Amino acid sequence: MEEGEGVKSSNQPDIRLSSPFSWRGENFPPILDSEAPDHLSRIRDLGIPYIFDIHTHFFPETVMKLIWRWFDNVNWAIGYRLPEKERVERLHHNGIKRFTTLNYAHKAGMASSLNDWTYDNYQNWEGAVPFGTFYPEEGVLAYVKQAVEEYKFQGFKLHCEVSKLNLNLPELAETFLYLLEKQIPILIHTGTAPLPGEFTGIQFFKPFLETYPKLKIIVAHMGAHEISAYASLLSNYPNLALDTTMVFVDFLATGKVEEVDAAVSYLETYQDQIYFGSDFPNIPYNLNHPITKVLDLPISDLAKQKILYQNAENLFFK
């Protein structure tokens, strides 16, 4: 595919037909933005000034292209395969005025340079809330402190599957205790969706949570494919939260239909501990789709307000 081209032209087959991941229903949602996304008037009617997306990715161009190559290999179409500046414009076009800068390291020596790159660039992305990352390696506490105290990062991202990361490693204890002291949130991909990893799953996450029960943690993808197991922890851990990334959409990489449908009730019950996330730009549909799916759910207007905007506002700017 050419740079900026999300799928093949209309007279060619949609590569999503060949995806190993299944879809709900027979029709794929649009992959390219409409001129006027219809969710914008709906969020205004709910009193939501803009959407806060807790789960958006920014990587150096060379790394992002390698990530896109992986998605190409599984026919995971990406409509937002655009230059960085245009991707930010797409977020704004869809009413997403605040968003995170998530990235992660898969080997030693990478995390610190990613943090430096984010610091050097995030102020060019209007609305960006800077997140760093870290890895179990020598000097990890020092560069995490730099990211918090010098760079003023407001959160961190970890990816247990890609990084082959065991959250319970003793060499990360000082770093977690430092972030606990500073009350800096960590967004963690610890679930087994779309693919399991050596250290993903509730069996690794639960002892970590028990060790740091007051750490501010956001579990990506609501912990799919074990959503109910992660949701069962919310009542006893008020600093624990989940994000909706790729859960309530027609693309079923994060769960079967019955699992996703069963998770809807958690959005009402735990409305103060749920954040909207999209996984932008690496999504096989346009941003209208995940936003509209949340708006269409049978939950209260108050829950929608909190999930799409207020909870994240309170986390970072209260």
User: What domains sit in the chain, N to C, each tagged with a CATH number?
Assistant: 30-317 (3.20.20.140)
Tokens of 81: 């395969």
Mean pLDDT to the nearest integer, 60-66: 96
Mean pLDDT to the nearest integer, 216-224: 98
Give CA–CA dist 56/220, Å, rounded: 11
Indicate whether 133 pLDDT > 60. yes
Report the alpha-carbon angle 89-95-98, nearest 5. 80
Q: Kindly provide the residue ranges of all beta strands, DSSP E only, lying in the chain, ordered along the sequence.
A: 51-53, 96-100, 128-129, 131-133, 155-159, 186-189, 217-219, 240-243, 274-275
Task: Express each pLDDT in 256-298 by its tens digit.
Answer: 899 999 999 999 999 999 999 999 999 999 999 999 999 999 9
- pLDDT at residue 61, rounded to an integer: 96
Indicate whether 312 pLDDT > 90. yes
Mean pLDDT to the nearest integer, 37-60: 98
User: With contact defined as beta carbons under 8 Å apart, do 145 and 122 qualify?
Assistant: no
- pLDDT at residue 12, rounded to an integer: 57
Amino acid identity, position 262: A
Tokens of 240: 């624990």
Write out the H or E segment, with its range, that includes residue 288. Answer: helix 288-296
User: With contact defined as beta carbons under 8 Å apart, do 100 and 54 qualify?
Assistant: yes
- pLDDT at residue 198, rounded to an integer: 97
Give percent above pLDDT 90 in the chain: 90
- pLDDT at residue 19, rounded to an integer: 87
- pLDDT at residue 15, rounded to an integer: 87
Tokens of 276: 């909207």
Task: Express each pLDDT in 25-47 by its tens digit.
Answer: 888 999 999 999 999 999 999 99
